[in-house]
Every structure is written in C-alpha cells, then in structure tokens.
Amino acid sequence: MNSQSEQTSIHQRVEQWLTQVVIGLNLCPFAAKPHKKKQIKIYISQAQQEEKLLEDLYQQFLELDSTPADQLETTLVVVPYFLSSFDDYNQFIDWIDALIMQHNWEGIYQVATFHPDYCFAGNRPEDDENLTNKSPYPIYHLIREESIEKVLARYPHPESIPENNIQRISTLTSEEKTRLFSYLMTTHKE
C-alpha cells in the first residue's frame, strides 16, 4: 500500500486535470454538472497486475450498479502503478470489454480512455490532437450509457465534440499547453 500523502497527491493531480483540462477546456461538455454536484468518483487503484485491476474495475462497476446516478454519476479508475505503456493500456481494454460482456453490462456501461501517452491511430505521439485524451495517469472512465443518452439528446450536434476538442486544443498558445499539460512531464515519468 502506498502512503496517504502519495494517494492525496495522485488524487489532486487527477482533480486538477479534471477541472482545468477536461472541464476547463470543455473537452467533455457533460462533466461540469456532475462534478459540481460531486457525483464523479476518483478511485485510485493499487493494482500492479491484470487480475487486481480487473477486480478493482469489477468492484467499481458494482458500486455504480448499486448506487443511483444522482448520487454517483461516473467513476474515474486511476491506474498509477500499472499500464504505463500505452500499448499495454490499450490492450487491457479487451479485458474490460470481456468483463462488461460477462456481466451483461453491454448497453449499460461504456469506458472512455485516457493515458499520459495517448496516441490516436494515424497520429504521431507528439501531435496536439492527442492532448484531448492525455491524462496524468492511465485512467479508465466508467460511464453510464443511460446518462450519456440523456445528455446527448439535449446536446446539439454531439458528433462534433471530437472535432471541437481538437480545434480547442489547436487554439492554445504554447504557454497555455505547457501550463495545462505540465503533468505529462512530471507524473508518470517519475
């Protein structure tokens, strides 16, 4: 088990990323409301192997399953001690998909992905477009599909969100990028 101060530091970095990047840049137009209502859980996994991480994810899905959305809308499962390689992280998604299928959670939950070395297919690692999904640690975002469907029904042109995010990132000055994404230089490389 890692020290309480280390856990606090990890939580603070994720919270800072959530408020300054995800919400601050409006990369997810649906995050501000549940964040303001304290309905977003940040769970820091201690996992250093696949089985433990799968168990942690399973427990977090169960908690979402047994907690009303107005109390717990969504969960960020932060993985600071495992899956630092983006390729390994990306391959682990197959295990999460299998877990969702095994428990008949298809259509109930989906997972969004964030990683310090996130790189979209066809992009170079240094491309700015990747910043939309770069986070201080590997993170699996557990999302209630019903909640997404509700907000998408009220959101004009949801298909434009990824392009809007890329546009927003491209308008940042190099100083803003340095300030907002400094965690990419200081977190998982330690």
Neighbours of 75 (CB within 10 A): 23
pLDDT digits (tens, 9 = 90+) for 32-76: 999 999 999 999 999 999 999 999 999 999 999 999 999 999 999
pLDDT at 58: 98
Q: Residues 107-166: pLDDT tens digits?
A: 999 999 999 999 999 999 999 999 999 999 999 999 999 988 888 888 788 888 899 999
Region of 150 please: left (phi>0), alpha (psi -120 to 50) or beta: alpha
pLDDT tops 70 at residue 102? yes
Q: What is the tally of structural domains in the chain?
A: 1
Read off the DSSP letter of residue 23: I
Distant-in-sequence, close-in-space partners of 94: CB < 8 Å, separation ≥ 6: none
Instruction: Please report the pLDDT score of residue 189 as a whole number.
Output: 43
Strands 74-78 and 109-114: unpaired
Domain ranges, residue 101:
4-186
Q: What is the DSSP letter of 129?
A: G
For residues 131 and 141, give the distance between their C-alpha atoms in angstroms, rounded to a whole number: 16
